[in-house]
Amino acid sequence: MSDPTTRDDATGVRTQTRTERRLKRPRMFKVLLHNDDYTTMEFVVYILQGVFHRNETDAMQIMLHVHKHGIGVAGVYTRDVAETRIQQVEALARSHEFPLRCSMEEA
């Protein structure tokens, strides 16, 4: 790496160049819940409140959207957080013997 300090021989003044780096925002991913014929609506609301920290009203609205349209967005997160939330949903669904599916796609 080169030294950012330079000396102007004509004036004898030292100057330092500052390079400004901008961080890119991380890519965001939608966590999607998929409707099935076996997972209860109550369990989906439980997942939305427990894993995705939704209030009861929002959880009910998302659950109804998933029920009517077959798929719905539970939340939008960075890749690591989205993957963790999916693992949590899958583990809870398995432990309660529900086939609830969860996936992610880039937002």
Six-digit token pair at 25?
A: 């925002």
> What is the C-alpha to C-alpha distance for residues 105 and 31, in angstroms, rounded to an integer?
7
Q: How much of the chain exceeds pLDDT 70, in percent?
A: 91
Per-residue pLDDT tens for 57-78?
A: 999 999 999 999 999 999 999 9
Give the mean model confidence (pLDDT) for residues 15-28. 86
Judge contact between 32 and 74, C-beta under 8 A.
yes
User: pTM for this one?
Assistant: 0.78
Nearest to 25 by CA among 74, 79, 85: 79
Q: Domains of the chain (ranges plus CATH)?
A: 28-106 (3.30.1390.10)
The whole-angstrom separation of Cα 29 and Cα 64 is 21
Q: Which of 10-14, 40-44, 87-91 has the lowest mean pLDDT?
A: 10-14
- Residue 3's pLDDT band (cuts 50, 70, 90): low
Helices 79-95 and 41-50 cross at an angle (nearest 10°) of 140
Alpha helices by DSSP H, listed for 12-78, are 41-50, 56-69
